[in-house]
Amino acid sequence: MSSDKLRIVLMGTGPFAVPSFEAIRAAGHDIPVVITRPMPPVKSRGGPPPAPVRDWATEHGLPIEAPESINDSEAVERLSEFAADLMVVCDYGQILRPPALASSKWGGINLHGSLLPAYRGAAPVQRALLSGDEETGVSVIHMTPRLDGGPILATRRTPISSTETAGELEERLSQIGVDATLEAITLLQRELINHDGEQPLPALGSVQDASKVSKAARLSKAEAEIDWSKSSRHIDCLVRGMQPWPVAFTFAETKPGKPPIRLAIRKVTPVVDAAVGPNQIGCLLATETKGEMAIGCGDGRVIVERLQPAGKNEMDAAEFIRGHRLEAGFRFGKN
């Protein structure tokens, strides 16, 4: 292996990691192992859940290991046996404690889907959309035991499209993250290649501003329910931020005496309209466009374009309106 190539342990599970991992492989770095999360038990006829990093490693014939806990003494000892220069961690799902981080010569770097210190945590892409942010990006940090708290080695910024879902934005950020990851690796090579290992690693990168830290907690199904009293922009951000999971939803009691139908709302267009009164919030509005599903909200209306009733296929909202013969005044949500 040439002097400009490193021995790198890759550690990831989800799709966000794959583009950067592929770039590291294509650059010719030595990858002794790919660490990923164990496959969960299969609970449905649909088969096992997606495992993007595992599938990528298998495709390229790379060794795979999946310890239950990366911080167990056996797992840490195993990591040390690989004698890596560096660990690259992305979309993995476990926090590495000091012994695990110390198992490689230069510790680890992590690609994160936000402009740190904003949105530390499990759902940075989704939280940026839910907050209505107009810009986001990726950060690569030199890892410390504090969650997403290490010094920043590289960043990339990008505007958020007004029509982008969390899934689409995450895919785009995973591609943007490739250059940032390679930049961080190059920085470490340049600064640490002659480090003797006897002394602590020198401080590299930019220390995060603690006053600007925000959290990105995991999403829950409950917070995906639409509150029609919110603004049209808030509802639009909720719909886009909750895709592909858990998906924004509302209810429609289409038959008196029958349980309400749960509707997954897939696409909306927000419209600010002062003519909509408070008594019309959550109600189907009369419009000049036949079959249009316009629902009153806090500052106007939301035009629902695509939805999916529970147990059925996704459809145009107009099709749902026709099929259930809904008229102006019909109320959505929990009555």
Verify cis geometry, omega within 30 degrees of 0, for the bond prior to 99.
no
pLDDT at res. 47: 64
pLDDT at 81 over 90: yes
Q: Can you spell out the DSSP letters for 106-160?
A: T-EEEEESSSTTTTEES-HHHHHHHTT-SEEEEEEEE--SSTT-SPEEEEEEEEP
Higher pLDDT, 37 or 45: 37
pLDDT at 198 over 80: no
Taking residues 241-269, report their average pLDDT: 95
Are the C-beta atoms of residues 237 and 132 closer than 8 Å to each other? Answer: yes
CB neighbourhood size of 77 (10 A): 11
Could you report the per-residue pLDDT of 227-237, keeping only the tens digit for each?
999 999 999 99
Structure-block tokens of residue 143: 């890892």
Taking residues 186-211, report their average pLDDT: 88
pLDDT at res. 335: 64
pLDDT at 287 over 60: yes
Tell me, what DSSP letter sits at residue 185?
H
Beta strands in 168-214 (DSSP E): none
Taking residues 34-63, report their average pLDDT: 86
- Residue 159 dihedral angles phi and psi, to the nearest 5°: -70, 155
User: 225 to each of 7, 162, 294, 334, how far by Cα in Å?
Assistant: 47, 21, 17, 10
Taking residues 239-255, report their average pLDDT: 96
User: 11-20, 30-39, 153-162, 195-204: lowest mean pLDDT where?
Assistant: 195-204
pLDDT at 42 over 60: yes
Taking residues 93-121, report their average pLDDT: 96
pLDDT at res. 15: 96
pTM, two decimal places: 0.94
Taking residues 84-92, report their average pLDDT: 97
Taking residues 207-211, report their average pLDDT: 95
Burial zone of 139 (CB within 10 Å; 0-12 exposed, 13-18 middle, 19+ buried): buried
Averaged pLDDT of the chain: 94
Q: How far apart are CA 120 and CA 147, in angstroms?
A: 7
Are the C-beta atoms of residues 41 and 98 closer than 8 Å to each other? Answer: no
pLDDT at res. 219: 97
Are the C-beta atoms of residues 251 and 334 closer than 8 Å to each other? Answer: yes
- Residue 249 dihedral angles phi and psi, to the nearest 5°: -150, 160
Which amino acid would we find at residue 184? A
